[in-house]
Amino acid sequence: MNLFVTGATGFIGSHFLNQALLAGHTVVGLRRSVSSNPRIPVPVEPKWITKSMDSLNVNDFQGIDCLVHLAAHGTTPPHDTLESCLYWNLTVPLTMTRYAHAAGVKRFIVAGSCFEYGRSGERYDEIPIDAPLEPTSTYSVSKATASIAFGYLALELKVAISIHRIFQVYGEGEAHNRFWPSLRRAALAGEDFPMTSGEQIRDFIAVEAVASRLIKSLESVQVEPGCCRIENLGTGKPQALRDFARHWWETQWNAPGKLLLGAIPHRDHEIMRYVPLVDATNVF
C-alpha cells in the first residue's frame, strides 16, 4: 500500500514508519527540513517530501492509497495558544485532507488524543468513545474539534476515516521533558526523582504497540466510505502513575536514587483518571 505519513519523524510517527516499511508498505514521509530524521532507526529511507504541512498541494498526494496523519502541534505543556493549535491541528489537516481527496485518496487514518475527553474522563471507570468531549487545554481543544470536523468531512467527501484516540503512550524517541524519559534519565544517573503523589490513573501503552495497532487498522479494519470510525487506543489495564514509576525505577532500571512522591504539585486542571473502554468502536 502507498502511504503518505505526516509526523513521520516524530515520536509515534518514527515507530509507525519503521513498522510500515518492515511490513512492505511504500511510504512518502513529510518532514519540515532535510535535517529532520526519525527518532529511531528505520530499515530503509522512505521517499521524503520536505516542506511545511500548510504548503502541501494536490500533486503531493498523487498515487497515494492512504493518508496517515500523525503530526500534532502543541502536545507538551506549556501548550501553544489556542489559535495556533487550531491552525495546525484543525485548519491545516482539513485542507490537506481535501487536497488528498482531490488526488484520489479514499482512506484516512488520524491520530487523536485521550485528552480530547478532558473532564468527562473522571466520570467513567472506562471512557466510551461517545463520552462527551470536555478538553481542558488548548491542544486538546484543537484535537477534539478536529475529531468532530473529520467526522463531517468523511460524510461530505464520502471517504473512510479512522480516528485513534491514543492514551498514555511512552517509549524510545519520546520528548526528553516528558515523564518516562525524565524518569529514565534520573534513574540511570543515580539521582532522586521528584514527582507528584502519583495518584493519577492512566492507561500506559508502549509506543511500539501503538504503531502496531495503527498498522493493523491500516491492513485489516474496513470502514465504509462516508463513515468515521473512532477507536480508543490503549491496553485496558489502568495503573496509578506512582506504580508505573516504581515498576520502571525498581524493576527495570534498578535505580539507586529515590522516588520523591509528593515533591511537586499536580498541574492545573489535572484530570486524575483517564482509562479507556478499549474494545468500543463506533461508526457515525
pLDDT the model gives residue 281: 45
Phi, psi of 28, rounded to the nearest 5 degrees: -105, 120
pLDDT > 60? residue 280: no
For residues 256-279, average pLDDT = 93
Q: Which fold has domain 2-170+204-236+277-283?
A: Rossmann fold (3.40.50)
* pLDDT exceeds 60 at position 235: yes
Mean local confidence (pLDDT), 214-228? 90
Residue that wins the pLDDT comparison between 268 and 221 = 268
Cβ–Cβ under 8 Å, residues 252 and 188: no
Specify whether the CB–CB gap between 217 and 109 falls below 8 A.
yes
With H, G, I as helix, E, B as strand and everything else as coil, classify residue 49. Answer: strand
Question: What's the pLDDT score for residue 221?
Answer: 76
The DSSP secondary-structure symbol of 241 reads H
Instruction: Give burial (CB, 10 Å; 0-12/13-18/19+) of 76.
Output: exposed
Say how far apart CA 100 and CA 59 lie, in whole Å. 9
Question: What pLDDT is recorded for position 69?
Answer: 98
Short-list 127, 117, 124, CA closest to 147: 117
- Percent of the chain surpassing pLDDT 70: 98
What pLDDT, on a 0 to 100 scale, did the predictor assign at position 272? 93
pLDDT score recorded for residue 116:
97
DSSP structural state of residue 193? E
The answer, yes or no, to whether residue 11 has pLDDT greater than 80, is yes
Instruction: Indicate whether 56 pLDDT > 50.
Output: yes
CB-neighbour burial class of residue 261 (10 A; exposed 0-12, middle 13-18, buried 19+): middle
